[in-house]
Amino acid sequence: MDRELMDTENLITDTFTAHEHVAPDADTVFAATRQRIDRRRTVLSRPLAVAAGVVALTLAAVTVVALNRSDSADNAQVGAPPTEAQATGPATDPAAPGLAMPYDLGWLPQGEVDYLVHRINIGGADKDQDKPLYGGEYMLTVTINGQVIDVDVQQFRMVQVDEATFKSGPGSPVTINGQPGVESSVSDGPGGYELYMAHPDGGSMYVNVSPEHGSTAGAQQLTDIGRQIAQNIRFPGTTTVTPTFGLRDLPNGLRICAFDVEKGFGDAASDRAGEAEPRTSYSLGTCDTMPPLHVYVADKDAPAGTAGQPVQGHQTSYADENGYRTLWVLDAVKGAPVAIAGKVPLTDLYDVANHLVLTS
Amino acid sequence: MADYENFVRAQLPRLLRYATMLTGEREQAADLVQDVLVKVYRRWSRISDADHPERYVVRMVTNGYLSWRHSRAARLIAVGDLPDEVRPGDLASEHALREDMWQRLARLPRRQRAVVVLRYYEQSPDSEIADLLGCAQATVRAHAHKALTTLRKGLAIEQQMAKAKEN
């Protein structure tokens, strides 16, 4: 090995070592990660069986919920039943209202599907403050004949097709249903097939089909699946997902800035027991900034904490961890507690708890 | 999920350093690792059963970096402050050399940079790098060769220009 090459290699190693201090603080990242997990706790459930050509995500044709930022605060709340919940009485609603997605997936490959759907509406773009940064996202894990494929379909309101960035190269032009797009496919590594296509109302739709580790799905198969999914995206959406609990008439100007409904991804024991329900979470706030409150179905294990005041006939407990407070409404969803958490006063958490819609 | 938290706490410093070397930026490294850890949480029952879950997570970080999309959306979770530009005790010339190299590394294609990070920071053998990236060892060597050629060529030009200025 020549001297110059050795010098270069040593310099590279020294350069990396000298920049270790750039690494973020682990405690800070851990806390931020936990916040994100709080917003999208996992569910323990069986995979959703999907028949050929039928998207099983159309779970319920019920109340359409508007989460657009331009809506009024009242309209932005999840479908409001006529009467307000009583703080001390049991919940009387038969079901939480459905949550609307802004677009539909008209086709998925035949197989078993675990899913996570989001609708996120946090903040506005610099140029157009009324235009939300985020739309909806479907994250699906499809098992086809033992092959596990991850499908991610997102709406990028602020990313145009000509601004698309791929993991490899600039991508190739493609036309999907008359809409211009760019696509990229990598056959020898992670990433799989990626496509950005123009959204009729601006921005773009992103489709990513990739094999999970260990899957042997070929590049052409991923491309075929990705294109067919893209060809069958429908606007506006009529898909609604049924949450395991709802919220109504939120107090103090709070709005739902984001929701997640997740099915699958559970642990093996719970899958076998078939005991789980789709997991639901909400982020609440003014939607101008990062929402300060997170509401989600917590693990069934009895949460540690101090006994609190009853809410809607349910026992509660709460904990305070350096100002980050969590209130658990016990036995709220199929025996599991609903947690309301945030760096806010405990009274604010009770205010939200009194507006939960819990199915009996 | 106590075992998840214990795992994350034990692995996080190393993952963050690794992600920093890949991305070259503190905030991108934090975002990348956060994304991965949320996915790990979702799949923890599968990952924890793996023979070497830490390797699996390193692979996820690597894959995340290679498929990273530079979102124009607002950063949801802001972390930390910017680092100082200069480390105390550095000799100026050595510091300048390393900063120059840091910038050159940032301009490498991602797959080449991943190979360089794995080889010269993680000190991984080519066989492990190939396994991690899902490619042949020959491909790893090719990426490393291209990266080193680019880095050395850049250095050589800079040195020639510096000599010309001196003359």
Distance from CA of B167 to the nearest CA of A (A): 23
What per-residue string of b and e applies to A283-293 under the rule 16 or more CB within 10 Å gives b? bbbebeebbbb
Report how many domains make up chain A.
2
Q: By CA distance, what is A270's nearest residue in B?
A: B45
Residue with tokens 């379909």: A153
Predicted pLDDT of residue A99: 85
Residue B74 sits in the same domain as residue B101: no
pLDDT band at A285 (very low <50, low <70, confident <90, very high): confident
Residue B146 sits in the same domain as residue B100: yes
Which two three-digit tokens encode residue B83? 């680092």
Residue B64 sits in the same domain as residue B95: no
Predicted pLDDT of residue A213: 62
Residue B63 sits in the same domain as residue B101: no
Predicted pLDDT of residue A72: 29
Residue B96 sits in the same domain as residue B167: yes
Amino acid (one-letter) located at B1:
M
Residue B112 sits in the same domain as residue B71: no
Alpha-helix residue ranges (DSSP H) falling in chain A: 3-18, 26-39, 73-76, 219-231, 268-273, 346-353
CB atoms within 10 A of CB A137: 19
Predicted pLDDT of residue B165: 58
Residue B103 sits in the same domain as residue B166: yes
Which of B37, B41, B61, B76 has the highest number of chain A CBs within 10 A, making it the mutation to test binding with A? Answer: B76
DSSP A316: E
Residue A91 sits in the same domain as residue A216: no
Residue B69 sits in the same domain as residue B98: no
Last residue of a domain, one of A188, A204, A238: A238
Give the CATH number, domain containing residue A205: 2.60.120
Specify which of A127-141, B23-37, B58-72, B108-122 reaches the highest per-range mean pLDDT: B108-122
Last residue of a domain, one of A206, A238, A270: A238
Which two three-digit tokens encode residue A35? 């916040």
Residue A315 sits in the same domain as residue A207: no
Q: What is the dihedral of CA A29, A35, A41, A42, to 10 degrees?
A: -10
Give the CATH number, domain containing residue A44: 3.30.200.100
φ, ψ at B157 (rounded to 5°):
-60, -45
Q: Rounded CA gap, A216 and A222, in Å?
A: 11
Which of B16, B31, B145, B152 has the highest number of chain A CBs within 10 A, making it the mutation to test binding with A? Answer: B16
> Is the pLDDT assigned to residue A307 strictly greater than 90?
yes
- Of A288, A287, A282, the C-alpha closest to A333 is A282
Residue B18 sits in the same domain as residue B75: yes
Last residue of a domain, one of B37, B60, B83: B83
Beta-carbon separation of B120 and A9 below 8 A? yes
Beta-carbon separation of B79 and A165 below 8 A? no
CB atoms within 10 A of CB A48: 16
B72, B98, B148 ranked by CB distance to A15: nearest:
B98
Cα distances from A97 to residues A79, A94, A264, B4, in angstroms, run 6, 9, 21, 33
Q: Determine, yes or no, domain membership for A282.
A: yes
Q: How many CB pairs under 8 A join A and B?
A: 154
Q: What is the dihedral of CA A297, A301, A304, A310, to 10 degrees?
A: 60
Would you call A211 helix, strand, or coil by DSSP? strand
For helices B53-66 and B26-42, the axis angle rounded to 10 degrees is: 130
Residue A111 sits in the same domain as residue A233: yes
A18, A36, A191 ranked by CB distance to B67: nearest:
A191
Q: What is this model's ipTM?
A: 0.83
* pLDDT tens readout for residues A49-94: 232 223 333 322 222 222 222 232 222 222 222 233 333 333 444 5
Last residue of a domain, one of A218, A238, A258: A238
Residue A316 sits in the same domain as residue A261: yes
DSSP A177: T
**Does A178 or A53 have the greater pLDDT score?**
A178
Predicted pLDDT of residue A40: 45
Domain that holds residue A60: 37-101+242-360
Q: By CA distance, what is B39's nearest residue in A?
A: A37
pLDDT band at B16 (very low <50, low <70, confident <90, very high): very high
Beta-carbon separation of B148 and A13 below 8 A? no
Beta-carbon separation of A19 and B98 below 8 A? yes
Residue B61 sits in the same domain as residue B99: no
* pLDDT tens readout for residues B126-165: 988 988 887 788 888 989 998 998 888 767 655 655 666 5
Last residue of a domain, one of B63, B83, B103: B83
What does the pLDDT average to over A329-356?
Answer: 91
Which two three-digit tokens encode residue A34? 């936990």
Beta strands A172-176 and A179-185 are: antiparallel
Domain that holds residue B151: 90-167
Amino acid (one-letter) located at A30:
F
* Cis status, amide bond into A94, omega within 30 of 0: no
- Of B143, B86, B113, B151, the C-alpha closest to B18 is B113
Q: By CA distance, what is A300's nearest residue in B?
A: B1
Would you call A103 helix, strand, or coil by DSSP? coil
Residue A200 sits in the same domain as residue A255: no
Residue B47 sits in the same domain as residue B104: no
Q: How far is CA B91 from the centre of its chain?
A: 25
Mean per-residue pLDDT of chain A: 72
Report how many domains make up chain B.
2
Contacts of B41 in chain A (CB under 8 A): 33, 37, 42
CB atoms within 10 A of CB A83: 10
Residue A266 sits in the same domain as residue A139: no
Give the CATH number, domain containing residue B109: 1.10.10.10
* pLDDT tens readout for residues B81-132: 223 333 334 455 677 788 888 888 988 888 899 999 999 999 999 988 988 8
Angle B151-B156-B159 from CA coordinates, rounded to 5° = 125
Residue A96 sits in the same domain as residue A108: no
Predicted pLDDT of residue A289: 64
Give the CATH number, domain containing residue B53: 1.10.1740.10
pTM, 2 dp: 0.54
Residue B73 sits in the same domain as residue B111: no
Last residue of a domain, one of B29, B50, B83: B83
Which of A7, A22, A185 has the highest number of chain B CBs within 10 A, making it the mutation to test binding with B? Answer: A22
**Does A89 or A152 have the greater pLDDT score?**
A152
Would you call A50 helix, strand, or coil by DSSP? strand
Sort A304 into a burial class: Cβ within 10 Å, 0-12 / 13-18 / 19+: exposed
Beta-carbon separation of A15 and B101 below 8 A? yes
